[in-house]
């Protein structure tokens, strides 16, 4: 990365005590210090690098966020923005010298505009609150994932969170029409657009979405709402090969069905998950791949497409859920991932690959891992319509499950991802955990431009230093 602008977080000209006095003077009860800081803000759901920050401040308004950043910027103090702490890349983990800024008091749905199908929210509002408010207004906020009750929309935006339904509705980025952001120096920029078409200069909101709190702190947003979900059908198929899964993806789309989920489980995954469940298997464990699909649209179109796929051999066997209970049973097989932390010692990968290459990647990466770590157990499933693969290595199958081995496995997989021109992070972000692997997915010139942006918007490097970029 020769010649790229250095991001050096300048040393604070003020000692800790003086600065903390200024902080307490300015923010009173909103400041917590030392033992009073709750452990819940020391790390995220990864538990990675847990650390007590120098102080925790919880501003209740945009103006307070701005005032806080001005102070920290003037004194060159590192600031770590925090939402629900459910992140999976360490982006909200504080350092010992940092001021953690919790958005937990900047909450609430400000308004729902039924005519425009939009919602204006404050950054600290939980995803679940937003989903419920959307439903109540006759709409749907279509981004959804397990942390919904705890994660905050500001964090969702800062990390461009994915989740269920991306295949139809896109990531969090695609739901954001407008933003309010506070820059490192405390300037507030009002990008609270609520319109679908707006071509007035650079679309600055995209600089902040997915930047993991390194370029600004999101304080408010305007979100798009989708119509409520229509009747949907749940289907489990046994497939002969990966190319058959891709062919089926296009067949269903061309039949005019709106796919809400297209989850491909490799045989290793299906067999393991079914082994964890009692009762009769919906399909035998003999197929190389399994597809769990949820589609909205005309049942007759789905049936016709399925019949054609059975005829061409794209699908070898299929179960179409005839009740909600049956659909839930099929989903339970895929949702075995929720049991991974208990039943495995999982080393999880959230990666993207070009859709045509995913089948080949699973095979060759598996062989590569087997060669270096003989006997290693790997399970694979993917939202392949989104180009997203979740490969999981079970640490219990390693001779020695040490941090060094885990790091070596990560290095090997990410390097392999780079060979396929894939992405080392599909939806979780980079944070601390993947920062040192970023070069496998981002070319030096692009990394260089990221550094240029960082330098331009946060010249003292106070915002979430060490996250995403080093």
* 25-84: contacts with a second copy (CB under 8 A): none
Q: Among 99, 100, 184, 209, which residue interacts with a second copy (rule: CB under 8 A)?
A: 209
Q: Among 34, 201, 279, 375, which residue interacts with a second copy (rule: CB under 8 A)?
A: 201
| Nearest alpha-carbon partner for 312 in 233, 234, 246, 247 | 247
- For position 152 contacting a second copy by CB under 8 A, the verdict is no
- For position 442 contacting a second copy by CB under 8 A, the verdict is yes
Q: Among 147, 438, 462, 463, which residue interacts with a second copy (rule: CB under 8 A)?
A: 438
- For position 429 contacting a second copy by CB under 8 A, the verdict is yes
Residues 93-132 contacting a second copy, CB under 8 A: 113-117
Q: Among 29, 34, 96, 202, which residue interacts with a second copy (rule: CB under 8 A)?
A: 202
Q: Among 30, 159, 337, 464, which residue interacts with a second copy (rule: CB under 8 A)?
A: 159
Radius of gyration of the chain (CA): 23
Shortest distance (Å) from residue 428 CB to a second copy:
7
- For position 436 contacting a second copy by CB under 8 A, the verdict is no
- For position 191 contacting a second copy by CB under 8 A, the verdict is yes
Phi-psi group of 400: left, alpha or beta (phi > 0 → left; psi -120 to 50 → alpha; rest → beta): beta
Beta carbon nearer to a second copy, 240 or 397? 240
Beta carbon nearer to a second copy, 114 or 396? 114
- For position 168 contacting a second copy by CB under 8 A, the verdict is no
Q: Among 76, 164, 253, 343, which residue interacts with a second copy (rule: CB under 8 A)?
A: 253
3-state secondary structure string across 49-89: CCCCCCEEECCCCHHHHHHHHHHHHHCCCCEEEECCCCCCC
Q: Among 294, 316, 410, 427, which residue interacts with a second copy (rule: CB under 8 A)?
A: 427
Beta carbon nearer to a second copy, 124 or 359? 359
How many chain residues bind a second copy (CB under 8 A)? 87
Segment contacting a second copy by CB under 8 A, of 209-217, 269-277, 367-375, 398-406:
209-217
- For position 296 contacting a second copy by CB under 8 A, the verdict is yes
- For position 169 contacting a second copy by CB under 8 A, the verdict is no
Shortest distance (Å) from residue 141 CB to a second copy:
15
- For position 278 contacting a second copy by CB under 8 A, the verdict is no
- For position 298 contacting a second copy by CB under 8 A, the verdict is yes
Shortest distance (Å) from residue 242 CB to a second copy:
10
- For position 260 contacting a second copy by CB under 8 A, the verdict is no
- For position 227 contacting a second copy by CB under 8 A, the verdict is yes
Q: Among 428, 432, 460, 465, which residue interacts with a second copy (rule: CB under 8 A)?
A: 428
Shortest distance (Å) from residue 137 CB to a second copy:
11
3-state secondary structure string across the chain: CCCCCCCCCCCCCCCHHHHHHHHHHHHHHHEEEHHHCCHHHCCCCCCCCCCCCCEEECCCCHHHHHHHHHHHHHCCCCEEEECCCCCCCCCCCCCCCCEEEECCCCCCEEEEECCCCEEEEECCCEHHHHHHHHHHCCCECCCECHHHHCCEHHHHHHHCCCCECHHHHCCHHHHEEEEEEECCCCCEEEECCCCCCCCCCCCCHHHHCCCCCCCCEEEEEEEECECCCCCEEEEEEEECCHHHHHHHHHHHHHCCCEEEEEEEEEHHHHHHHHHCCCCCCCCCCCCCEEEEEEEECCHHHHHHHHHHHHHHCCCCEEEECCCHHHHHHHHHHHHHHHHHHHHCCEEEEEEECCHHHHHHHHHHHHHHHHHHCCCCEEEEEEEHHHCEEEEEEEHHHCCCCCHHHHHHHHHHHHHHHHHCCCECCCCCCCCCCCHHHHHHCCCHHHHHHHHHHHHHHCCCCCECCCCCCC
Shortest distance (Å) from residue 332 CB to a second copy:
24
Segment contacting a second copy by CB under 8 A, of 21-29, 77-85, 352-360, 366-374:
352-360
- For position 419 contacting a second copy by CB under 8 A, the verdict is no
Shortest distance (Å) from residue 1 CB to a second copy:
13
Beta carbon nearer to a second copy, 196 or 281? 196
């Amino acid at each position: 990365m020769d010649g790229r602008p250095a991001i050096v977080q300048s040393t604070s000209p003020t000692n800790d005590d003086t600065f903390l006095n200024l902080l307490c003077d300015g923010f009173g009860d909103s400041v917590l210090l030392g033992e009073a800081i709750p452990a819940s803000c020391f790390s995220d759901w990864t538990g990675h690098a847990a650390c007590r920050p120098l102080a925790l401040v919880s501003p209740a308004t945009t103006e307070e966020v701005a005032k806080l950043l001005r102070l920290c910027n003037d004194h060159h103090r590192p600031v770590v923005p925090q939402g629900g702490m459910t992140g999976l890349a360490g982006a909200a983990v504080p350092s010992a010298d940092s001021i953690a800024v919790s958005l937990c008091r900047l909450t609430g749905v400000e308004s729902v505009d039924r005519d425009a199908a939009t919602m204006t929210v404050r950054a600290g509002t939980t995803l679940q609150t937003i989903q419920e408010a959307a439903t109540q207004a006759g709409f749907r906020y279509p981004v959804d994932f397990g942390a919904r009750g705890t994660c905050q929309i500001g964090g969702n935006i800062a990390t461009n969170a994915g989740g269920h339904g991306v295949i139809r509705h896109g990531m969090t980025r695609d739901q954001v029409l407008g933003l309010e952001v506070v820059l490192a120096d405390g300037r507030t920029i009002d990008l609270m657009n609520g319109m679908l078409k707006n071509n007035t200069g650079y679309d600055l909101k995209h600089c902040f979405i997915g930047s993991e709190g390194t370029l600004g702190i999101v304080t408010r947003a305007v979100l798009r709402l989708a119509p409520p979900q229509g009747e949907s059908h749940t289907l489990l198929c046994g497939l002969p090969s990966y190319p058959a899964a891709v062919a089926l993806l296009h067949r269903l789309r061309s039949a005019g069905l709106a796919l809400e989920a297209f989850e491909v489980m490799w045989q290793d995954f299906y067999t393991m998950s079914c082994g964890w469940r009692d009762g009769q298997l919906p399909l035998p464990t003999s197929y190389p791949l399994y597809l769990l699909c949820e589609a909205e649209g005309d049942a007759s179109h789905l049936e016709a497409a399925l019949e054609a796929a059975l005829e061409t051999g794209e699908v070898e066997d299929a179960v179409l859920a005839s009740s909600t209970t049956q659909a839930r049973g099929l989903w339970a097989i895929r949702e075995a991932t929720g049991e991974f932390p208990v039943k495995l010692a999982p080393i999880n990968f959230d990666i993207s690959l070009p859709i045509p290459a995913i089948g080949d990647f699973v095979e060759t990466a598996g062989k590569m891992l087997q060669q270096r770590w003989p006997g290693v157990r790997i399970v694979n499933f993917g939202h392949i319509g989104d180009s997203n693969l979740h490969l999981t290595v079970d640490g219990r199958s390693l001779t020695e499950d040490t941090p060094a081995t885990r790091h070596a496995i990560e290095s090997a997989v990410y390097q392999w991802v780079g060979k396929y021109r894939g992405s080392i992070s599909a939806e979780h972000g980079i944070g601390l955990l993947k920062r040192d692997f970023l070069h496998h997915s981002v070319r030096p010139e692009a990394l260089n431009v990221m550094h240029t942006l960082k330098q331009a918007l946060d010249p003292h490097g106070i915002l979430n230093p060490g996250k995403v970029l080093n």
